[in-house]
Structure 1
């Protein structure tokens, strides 16, 4: 075993891992990266088809982003963001206001996605408290949702894998049955769906709406649930229902923002604007830990008063508005706007889905290939006709993941859902290689 690997296992507790697995699959020490490729200390190459936890938006070591951070590093690396500001933060807001959903005008900075969600929940709660709606103390969310790992974020998530052990610590939230378009209980397909399942939201809003501060959702794409994709119509109906009941709508665009779904934000597909929106991951191109919670003038105004009135939003993070992160985010916006990345990514997205369908649609264990933008999810099933899932104890996805690593492909499935979520500027030739490596890995396990 390599000395660096030994030292890693001696000291490091890796995230979202059962460390006992590392006895047979030790950590791979990455030495450097370029574009969509990672290279380990032994010189092995891996295609990063998942964008390193969905955040690497424009490829590793992007020269434009690199240059922006290097330049900023010699000017200002960090400063307290309370009563002080700096040019990169101001310019970033000026750029983002051009592309975010209309009506969002105020930016609160934090340093990771979970923090942005916590900020949004507290903001919604305090807003109602300060506008005479003190009975609105609860939160709604969708089943199978995921919004981060802090206590508030776990409370509005519905994935037992992450939250079950902590339930005694969590808030009592209202979990609405989410759309499941692959296994639709109404017998609908993606072609004829009219969001019949929205009746679940209507029932829960009728019962709990008057006591609810906000509902938080992953718009159009429930990521950790297995890249579950649902219609834009659902978002439109939800926006209308929130308007009618006074419940605030929080859009968690941490994973879906900045072109991941084919538009700048997932909310754009439904042509709706949330009351609060959380962004992170692609915000800095995956370079720097940074997030934002965006909101409306109306919500902001509820906090605007003399300090001794006690209406200030006393929520802060040491690295709020970090200049290095802001500079990286500015570089991302520059690339997106000047290089027409989103336009070109639409063509790449069509190419990827076409190739995946050509090679995998008839596979006996591929239940569905669903996609939105460049994100493609391959749901593996034991029986294609009945949609019966594999026994979780078999860990089919994990076994394919291990084989793929040996072939130079970083997959990291969600259960038995394999997914491609590459950088927006990935080359078609790289996608071809990734598909071939994925299929070869599947064939070795699903004999």
Structure 2
């Protein structure tokens, strides 16, 4: 077991990793609650929910029990022409907690494919109506996934540079951060025309773009502008869904509800891969026809996998408990209290929060860049002290599982303050 990292290095290619210069990966052998345990006996507080997916803690017994039971009954079945209890029950329960205009559930495998499905639905909706629209509007620096359609509607960056010749064109709006709302609205009035098929957003929080946050009031106004031109609205809630912003969905803060929603990450409590795209009835109706060419020709081998659907149902059991909802509010309040301490550090700026997500920028070197070297310094400093965080360049953020205790939060806060003190203390 001790040579697991070396065995990995010999044969595995890791995501978002320059393999030539990266240190050996940390070999994790088990997880419990908010803690990960490595092969060398070290513990790590998972303050980023293992890439924003874990809601209830690692190896949760309720989710594990439900999956084990399902595994003895049905592990998988083709979802074209067939169905099963977990998929139907999950769709029913999701529609009961989603914005009331959502009507249909389409299953896929992850957040990126959920976005792909939403885009194909949007484009083909207009095609099926005989009124093709080919323009998409998105926010600058957005991140919607790493497959080609999802990359196309994401911001152009180092991550998409090799593929730009193959991506369809998108018109971009600046993110309506506080103080920029009027300028963004003015720009939107020009961009939103009657040839825009859809407007796609990460509501209230741009995740990989640097945890950029804005308010629901301005998004409502932008949605209204889009609707005046008949454009469809896609809410990518892959990261913001299932309580992260303080409410079950970021869309719950809005008066204007999206036409399509993309879900994944926390959908299964971080246990298994599963994606969902939801839509309003009018979109679904545009695909109903005696003409088979109006069919949505999209699917995946593991669409609506019964084990993944069961994991999602078990996660929803836990999510809707009063205890979990109370924990969401408790963690949100802890973040708010910690932010008042962060104000005292000269190296900190742009402190921002939505629910259980707290982020701030480090004023060190180049500003707000994914490749800012402070990223590695902060990551290694915290990891050495048993706190797993994954800074986005000079942006540090906390997004812990909902089971994280006050003592664990306090420890993480203490280590972050130690980092800030180190940054601000000149070396003699």
Q: Which of the five TM-score ranges fits, normalised by the shorter chain?
A: over 0.9
Cα offsets for 1:56-90 (capped at 9, x unmatched): 01111111111111111111111000010000111
Q: Verify the 8 A CA contact 2:210 2:368 in the aligned structure 1.
A: no
In the alignment, which residue of structure 1 is the partner of 2:195? Answer: 211
* Aligned-pair CA distance for 1:41: 0.3
Q: 1:116 to 1:394 in 2, by over 3 A?
A: closer
Residue 182 of structure 2 is aligned to residue 177 of structure 1: no
In the alignment, which residue of structure 1 is the partner of 2:187? Answer: 200
1:87-106 correspondence to structure 2 within 5 Å? 87-106=85-104
* Aligned-pair CA distance for 1:210: 2.0
Residue 343 of structure 2 is aligned to residue 361 of structure 1: yes
In the alignment, which residue of structure 1 is the partner of 2:24? Answer: 26
1:106-117 correspondence to structure 2 within 5 Å? 106-117=104-115
In the alignment, which residue of structure 1 is the partner of 2:42? Answer: 44
Q: Verify the 8 A CA contact 1:33 1:60 in the aligned structure 2.
A: yes
Distance across 2 between alignment mates of 1:253 and 1:66: 25
Q: Verify the 8 A CA contact 1:195 1:233 in the aligned structure 2.
A: no
In the alignment, which residue of structure 2 is the partner of 1:13? Answer: 13
The gaps in structure 1 that reach 5 residues or longer are 187-193
* Aligned-pair CA distance for 1:390: 7.5
Cα offsets for 1:342-386 (capped at 9, x unmatched): 23311321122212422x211111012110001000211149xxx
* Aligned-pair CA distance for 1:301: 0.6
Which residue of the other structure, out of 231, 254, 260, is the alignment partner of 2:238?
A: 254
In the alignment, which residue of structure 2 is the partner of 1:236? Answer: 220
The 10-residue stretch of structure 1 (285-294 or 421-430) with the greater mean CA deviation from structure 2: 421-430
> 3-state DSSP class of the match of 1:5?
helix
TM-score, length of structure 1 as denominator length: 0.91
In the alignment, which residue of structure 1 is the partner of 2:421? Answer: 443
Which residue of the other structure, out of 150, 160, 164, is the alignment partner of 1:163?
A: 160
> 3-state DSSP class of the match of 1:124?
helix
Q: Verify the 8 A CA contact 1:396 1:445 in the aligned structure 2.
A: no
> 3-state DSSP class of the match of 1:353?
helix
Distance across 1 between alignment mates of 2:113 and 2:160: 17
Distance across 2 between alignment mates of 1:128 and 1:82: 24
Q: Verify the 8 A CA contact 1:250 1:275 in the aligned structure 2.
A: yes
* Aligned-pair CA distance for 1:215: 1.1
TM-score, length of structure 2 as denominator length: 0.95
* Aligned-pair CA distance for 1:272: 2.8
Q: Verify the 8 A CA contact 1:30 1:40 in the aligned structure 2.
A: yes
Q: Verify the 8 A CA contact 1:146 1:159 in the aligned structure 2.
A: no
Residue 290 of structure 2 is aligned to residue 312 of structure 1: no
Q: Verify the 8 A CA contact 1:375 1:420 in the aligned structure 2.
A: yes
> 3-state DSSP class of the match of 1:21?
coil
Q: 1:445 to 1:382 in 2, by over 3 A?
A: closer
* Aligned-pair CA distance for 1:314: 0.7
Distance across 1 between alignment mates of 2:183 and 2:369: 30
Q: What RMSD, in angstroms, separates the aligned Cα atoms of the two structures?
A: 1.8
Distance across 2 between alignment mates of 1:390 and 1:291: 30
